[in-house]
Structure 1
């Protein structure tokens, strides 16, 4: 019988129930490595030993004061061994440890009834009944109870055999593909420098690779790696690892820090999570309640905002927003434990469904409710669907945003045709086909409505479309071109219109068009800064604006500013006069322009400013020069 994958075995239970002695009997190693631990005769910090190459045994502290240390060691456990002393039976920390194991979603385990040499058989049977009551309706339901005595060497081989047998059936861990390790110890070793230890919770890393240290966003190259007490070139998910970091002081690191592939994880201040309460009749979770969040090897305080109670008709399940008092390195799919602020007892566990980033409460609530009842892949689809089009998800940011490797995400893409990769202008976005369809429909509706409101304007400017529908500029360009290629819309210069749209004036307005053109032919300019033009020509303002917009889109007139219009022919003539002037002059003054065009200052200044605006000329002090672009 062999074990193919790395297996982590967690020894948990009440103080003085013999966990450390049992580990020593199994492995030959005393995991009470600190002088303080040996002096007290109890485990204060987490200890580690190796049963064989593929099996790591974690000895977690049983004293209630050190439950947070126990939580640090419980991350990544595959097999839980609940150690109960026969003379004490089920004790308070036995129950709390067992609840924590359940909340961390551990699937495999068994019970060791230790110190059986100290009690009679009748007492052993009573304790076994209590154990069965404790483990009923859990992952240890009807589990094997192995009787042991370290002193009398009873049952040690049975425990070892049970670990090997159970370990051989453990499937591969759920792997995001990104290297990640929560640091539980740091120290400095002479000749090597800083060493950090922890359990690799996902991915793998090799000597020579660069890792990111959070918090602090420092990067360091790996000098050396040890697993199971041996130097190795690479460490993988599930392994206990000691990693030697280059150019990092151990004084700058401590338990609670986080190692990962660079630019894949970040510190966050809030997240959406599904909570499982141990017993709602005993413990309650309310909005704005202050709690302790334990994730990886870190503890932070947080406030809870309840989004929905009794999800999936389970009174012990809650969907909530966690607002952290201090930032925490966390990602989608992370499991954590919740303890009361005071008294400090474990009350619930949770799994992170999404990082809130810059979402507002309305968006957070909508997304959280959408998560209910969905599996990991459906929640992922909901997350991508909820990303706003004004800032679509770029493929290069997949690892940081979704906390999974590009390889894993590519595998999802190959099996789920609801996603698509859009490429434009050297940018790749990950979007859902449904969202793309909705955006195209929104653009169609906006342009159609624009035509209804502005029947004499050839189309809508792209910038206006982007502002109204809130789409990132490059992404909008892609969508517009896609719609154009499919003959949904068309474009003329920067005006976008429906494919079948055509400009047209109502018959009753044709006479006003002729009046406007006739006036420009005779006077070159129309000034509407007062109402004289409208009064003299008996024309309504709204009709006038519709006609001049129509004529402007047909390139028959030019709008100089909000009040002045000029014929296109006059603009062309003035441009030629300016061009000829600059053939023999370096700069142009307002008086010189007035003289060459026979314009009064009323029109000369706006015309020159218009030429500056379209980059035909540019102003230096009180003179103009011809644009360098036009001089090329």
Structure 2
């Protein structure tokens, strides 16, 4: 079932609250000061049922210019606006400002409600209608119906209700499969219940007992109870006026303007890329570093503007800009916002958020402008690719992409698969890398290997762990393994016994090195198991001997521990004899191993400890068994 929010707009004392009372039978002015002064100060909320049985939520906003901030908070999430204009006064300044705001917030449906029609004759009403028609030219409400009503006598209310019912059929379905998000417009507590927040659920759904996060404070809360239009529900859906009873948080820890959302589903930012449009009638242009106020959701934030196309954005025109914020914004791409001048405060424009996680831009950068155009077009596949392209220093997860784009997991996965097929994105376990980032990392690995092979010409390769730490220590071992295996498949590198080398690298001994190699191998062969030799005993201080010796480790020379080495053939024979012995006898002591190998106790202990480290044997008290 569609969830519809109807909001009022219009100048002070044009009869918005009286109209709502006539439609619903309920009063939305609840503050003592509102009743004393006869004007709306805060937001009012109620509901009523249409003939089609749809229950419609109503937001009644204040019309006085001093309370425009409250009006902006209430305009968030409106589907149908009732533009209320008193027949005896016609279009007034706040009528125009409210219209500008609704236009920039991309409200698509509206009805012009002419109130107090019993105070003037029909001829005057027709003159007012002509004026209205002129004032709303080019705006979303240009072709809206004009309904004449008198809220006291209730004349015209049936026609108005029928028109609301008709428009409600055209309301777009909200995204209920996206992560939940709601801008908070009221915070209060009730005895016996605790903290309660209200707002219009922008997207997704909220269930009882859900764990959510309050942004930007990032406090985790739990949904204790849910109400929609004053009734307890198990689930609240996008497009509904919702009251949420929260546990684990005090009223003092939340304020209007905060966002309650699925944990990790939104990004906080101190800088956003936007497309801004300025109204012509305000005659206010924006230059580099002008200080302005933006209103997003139910939050007001001060910021500085950096125009990107030109030195300034002129009134009546639009352009790309970067906003450097003075407080955190919690937003998603595609969100709408309103701009008001810093002082004096007046609505001068609005815009749409293109990127919530940009880098700092300079003016006249064509690459930046083209990238913003791609993001603004809204093709999810292009947006994902552009985001990954800009995040070359980071490793991006699916969760990051959901938070950035605001789209659901299934759609993002589908587009990621397409990008992988197009060879534009590479998946590395839970991370997604743009092909530029992946190629750069592969190039870095090859450069490290080239340098290593120049320095150690007789070594078979670099250890995997050393390569990972030098290439990018932020990558986990399992992630580097995926990348290295891809490089092996593409014949860029090869891996043998945990050593990585360039694909075409081979150890090559020259004549002198071959002579040294033969001499070292003969020493080990003659020594047998009579002792375990050290590097110094084999090479002395000769750097050429050391270079060849290092190349033989793992090939014809076996490393026993950090200091001692043995002929590899002798080592393999001792290992095989030990395995065969244990298969027959189950266990062996150091003394029995000494007798088996015809060596001494010192050599036996060193050998057995090596077998323990290599998981050939396991020590149990003073005996060894097969691992």
Shorter-chain TM-score range? 0.7 to 0.9
- Give the number of equivalent residue pairs: 569
- State the match for 1:489 in structure 2: 493
Deviation, 1:440, is 7.8
SS at match of 2:144: coil
- State the match for 1:29 in structure 2: 26
Task: Single out whichever of 339-348 and 300-309 deviates more from structure 2.
Answer: 300-309
Could you say if the C-alpha distance between residues 121 and 360 of structure 1 is closer, same or farther in structure 2, counting changes exceeding 3 Å?
A: closer
Measure, in 2, the Cα distance between the counterparts of 1:227 and 1:51: 12
Measure, in 2, the Cα distance between the counterparts of 1:549 and 1:134: 87
- State the match for 1:43 in structure 2: 40
- State the match for 2:620 in structure 1: none
Measure, in 2, the Cα distance between the counterparts of 1:429 and 1:491: 23
Alpha-carbon displacement from aligned partner over 1:18-58 (angstroms, at most 9, x marks no partner)? 11112222222222121211211111111122131431121
- State the match for 1:252 in structure 2: 253
* Contact 2:427–2:433, Cα closer than 8 Å, also in 1: no
Match of residue 429, structure 1, among 423, 431, 446: 431
Match of residue 4, structure 2, among 2, 7, 26: 7
- State the match for 2:13 in structure 1: 16
Measure, in 1, the Cα distance between the counterparts of 2:175 and 2:278: 24
- State the match for 1:275 in structure 2: 276
Could you say if the C-alpha distance between residues 323 and 280 of structure 1 is closer, same or farther in structure 2, counting changes exceeding 3 Å?
A: farther
Matched, 1:262 2:263: yes
Matched, 1:480 2:484: yes
SS at match of 1:343: coil
Residue ranges of structure 1 left out of the alignment (5+ in a row): 577-581, 585-595, 598-607, 617-627
Deviation, 1:450, is 5.1
Alpha-carbon displacement from aligned partner over 1:578-632 (angstroms, at most 9, x marks no partner)? xxxx969xxxxxxxxxxx99xxxxxxxxxx9xxx9xx99xxxxxxxxxxx99999
Alpha-carbon displacement from aligned partner over 1:428-460 (angstroms, at most 9, x marks no partner)? 23455x458735863686478558856655445
* Contact 2:176–2:237, Cα closer than 8 Å, also in 1: no
- State the match for 1:588 in structure 2: none
Matched, 1:136 2:137: yes
* Contact 2:287–2:313, Cα closer than 8 Å, also in 1: no
Measure, in 2, the Cα distance between the counterparts of 1:346 and 1:314: 12
* Contact 1:13–1:93, Cα closer than 8 Å, also in 2: yes
Could you say if the C-alpha distance between residues 413 and 72 of structure 1 is closer, same or farther in structure 2, counting changes exceeding 3 Å?
A: same
Q: Cα RMSD between the aligned structures? A: 4.6
- State the match for 1:392 in structure 2: 395
Could you say if the C-alpha distance between residues 118 and 489 of structure 1 is closer, same or farther in structure 2, counting changes exceeding 3 Å?
A: same
Residue ranges of structure 2 left out of the alignment (5+ in a row): 524-535, 575-588, 592-601, 614-622
Could you say if the C-alpha distance between residues 250 and 497 of structure 1 is closer, same or farther in structure 2, counting changes exceeding 3 Å?
A: same
Alpha-carbon displacement from aligned partner over 1:110-147 (angstroms, at most 9, x marks no partner)? 32232333344454344333322332222223332223
Measure, in 2, the Cα distance between the counterparts of 1:546 and 1:316: 71
Measure, in 1, the Cα distance between the counterparts of 2:72 and 2:205: 23
SS at match of 1:372: helix
* Contact 2:212–2:263, Cα closer than 8 Å, also in 1: yes
- State the match for 1:605 in structure 2: none
Deviation, 1:71, is 0.8
Could you say if the C-alpha distance between residues 556 and 190 of structure 1 is closer, same or farther in structure 2, counting changes exceeding 3 Å?
A: closer
SS at match of 1:472: coil
SS at match of 1:342: coil
Compute the TM-score of the two structures, normalised by the length of structure 2. 0.76
Task: Single out whichever of 292-301 and 399-408 deviates more from structure 2.
Answer: 399-408
Measure, in 2, the Cα distance between the counterparts of 1:497 and 1:490: 6
Measure, in 2, the Cα distance between the counterparts of 1:479 and 1:311: 46
Alpha-carbon displacement from aligned partner over 1:156-213 (angstroms, at most 9, x marks no partner)? 2222221111111112124561122222112222333332211111111122323323
Could you say if the C-alpha distance between residues 550 and 73 of structure 1 is closer, same or farther in structure 2, counting changes exceeding 3 Å?
A: same
Deviation, 1:240, is 0.6
Measure, in 2, the Cα distance between the counterparts of 1:369 and 1:495: 44
Task: Single out whichever of 56-65 and 191-200 deviates more from structure 2.
Answer: 191-200
Alignment of 1:381-460 (within 5 A): 381-386=384-389, 388=391, 391-395=394-398, 397-410=400-413, 412=415, 427-431=429-433, 434=435, 438=439, 442=443, 446=447, 458-460=460-462
Measure, in 1, the Cα distance between the counterparts of 2:90 and 2:71: 20
Alpha-carbon displacement from aligned partner over 1:219-241 (angstroms, at most 9, x marks no partner)? 33323222122222211100011
Measure, in 2, the Cα distance between the counterparts of 1:313 and 1:326: 26
SS at match of 2:287: coil
Alignment of 1:120-159 (within 5 A): 120-159=121-160
- State the match for 1:80 in structure 2: 81
Deviation, 1:299, is 1.5
Alpha-carbon displacement from aligned partner over 1:365-392 (angstroms, at most 9, x marks no partner)? 8667513144331453135423646642
Measure, in 2, the Cα distance between the counterparts of 1:28 and 1:230: 18
Could you say if the C-alpha distance between residues 504 and 183 of structure 1 is closer, same or farther in structure 2, counting changes exceeding 3 Å?
A: same
Could you say if the C-alpha distance between residues 630 and 313 of structure 1 is closer, same or farther in structure 2, counting changes exceeding 3 Å?
A: farther
* Contact 1:525–1:567, Cα closer than 8 Å, also in 2: no
Could you say if the C-alpha distance between residues 419 and 569 of structure 1 is closer, same or farther in structure 2, counting changes exceeding 3 Å?
A: closer
Task: Single out whichever of 47-56 and 413-422 deviates more from structure 2.
Answer: 413-422
Could you say if the C-alpha distance between residues 439 and 471 of structure 1 is closer, same or farther in structure 2, counting changes exceeding 3 Å?
A: farther
* Contact 2:28–2:46, Cα closer than 8 Å, also in 1: yes
SS at match of 1:320: strand
- State the match for 2:582 in structure 1: none
SS at match of 2:57: strand
Could you say if the C-alpha distance between residues 253 and 388 of structure 1 is closer, same or farther in structure 2, counting changes exceeding 3 Å?
A: closer
* Contact 1:421–1:429, Cα closer than 8 Å, also in 2: no
